[in-house]
Chain A
Amino acid sequence: MWAARAGGRKGLVSDSTDDGDAVSRARTRAEFDALYKLHFARVRDFIERRVHVDDLEDVLAEVFTVAWRRRLSLPSDAKIQAAWLYKVARFTLLNWQRQDRRKRDLWDRIANEAATASPVETTASRPELFENALVEAAFYSLSPADQEIVGLAAWEGCTSDELALILECSPGAARTRLSRAHERLRVAMLRGSS
Chain B
Amino acid sequence: MSQPDFDAIDRLRRHDPLSGRAETPEMSNEALASRVYGRIDFSDELTVARWPLRRSLRSRRAWILVPVFILGSLLLTAAVISRTRHADDPTQVACYSAVDLSSNTVVLPMESSPIATCKEAWEDPANPALFGGVLTPRLAACVLESGVAAVFPADGVDPCQTLGLASWERADSNADLGQRFQANLIERTKNKCIEPQLFAEIAQEELDRAKMDDWSVAVAPAFEPSRICGSLHIEWPEKTVVVVPFEKPDDWIDWP
* A residues at B contact (CB < 8 Å): 1-7, 9-24, 26, 29, 36-37, 40-41, 44-45, 48-49, 53, 56-57, 60-61, 64-65, 68-69, 72-73, 99, 106-107, 110, 131-132, 135-136, 138-139, 150-151, 153-155, 161, 164, 168-171, 182-183, 185-186, 189-190
Contact of A68 among B42, B89, B102, B186 (CB under 8 A): B42
Contact of B102 among A5, A10, A17, A164 (CB under 8 A): A17
Cβ–Cβ < 8 Å partners of B144 in chain A: 21, 23-24
Bound-complex Cα distance A19 to B21 (A): 41
Q: Which residue of B lies closest to A56 (CB)?
A: B32
Can you list 20 A-B pairs with a CB-CB distance of less than 8 A?
A1-B189, A7-B109, A11-B121, A13-B130, A15-B104, A16-B101, A18-B102, A19-B101, A20-B100, A20-B101, A21-B145, A21-B146, A61-B40, A65-B40, A110-B17, A138-B8, A154-B9, A155-B12, A155-B13, A182-B8
A5-B91, A11-B106, A14-B105 are known contacts. Are A132 and B190 too (CB-CB below 8 A)? no
Q: Which residue of B lies closest to A164 (CB)?
A: B126
A3-B44, A3-B244, A171-B128 are known contacts. Are A22 and B36 too (CB-CB below 8 A)? no
- Tell me whether A150 and B33 are in contact (CB under 8 A): no
Beyond known contacts A16-B105, A21-B145, A68-B42: 18 more, CB 8 A cutoff: A1-B189, A3-B242, A7-B107, A11-B107, A20-B103, A23-B150, A24-B146, A48-B17, A151-B12, A153-B9, A168-B126, A169-B126, A182-B9, A183-B8, A185-B12, A186-B8, A190-B3, A190-B4
Confirm or deny: B180 has a beta carbon within 8 angstroms of a beta carbon on chain A: no
Cβ–Cβ < 8 Å partners of B104 in chain A: 13-16
Interface residues of B in 1-49 (CB under 8 A from A): 3-4, 6, 8-13, 15-18, 20-21, 27, 29, 32-33, 35-37, 39-42, 44-45
Confirm or deny: B177 has a beta carbon within 8 angstroms of a beta carbon on chain A: no
Contact of A29 among B32, B42, B127 (CB under 8 A): B42
Q: Which residue of B lies closest to A16 (CB)?
A: B102
Cβ–Cβ < 8 Å partners of B103 in chain A: 16, 20
How many A-B residue pairs have C-beta atoms within 8 angstroms? Tell me.
Answer: 180
Confirm or deny: B231 has a beta carbon within 8 angstroms of a beta carbon on chain A: yes
CB distance from B187 to the nearest CB of A (A): 11
Confirm or deny: B135 has a beta carbon within 8 angstroms of a beta carbon on chain A: no
CB distance from B56 to the nearest CB of A (A): 22
- Tell me whether B3 and A3 are in contact (CB under 8 A): no
Cβ–Cβ < 8 Å partners of B151 in chain A: none
* B residues at A contact (CB < 8 Å): 3-4, 6, 8-13, 15-18, 20-21, 27, 29, 32-33, 35-37, 39-42, 44-45, 89, 91-92, 94-95, 100-109, 121, 124-130, 144-146, 148, 150, 182, 186, 189-190, 231-234, 242, 244, 250
Cβ–Cβ < 8 Å partners of B129 in chain A: 13, 161, 171
Pick the most buried of B35, B106, B121, B189: most chain A CB atoms within 10 A of its CB.
B106
A57-B32, A168-B126, A185-B8 are known contacts. Are A48 and B18 too (CB-CB below 8 A)? yes
- Tell me whether B15 and A4 are in contact (CB under 8 A): no
CB distance from A50 to the nearest CB of B (A): 8
Bound-complex Cα distance A44 to B35 (A): 13
Cβ–Cβ < 8 Å partners of B95 in chain A: 11
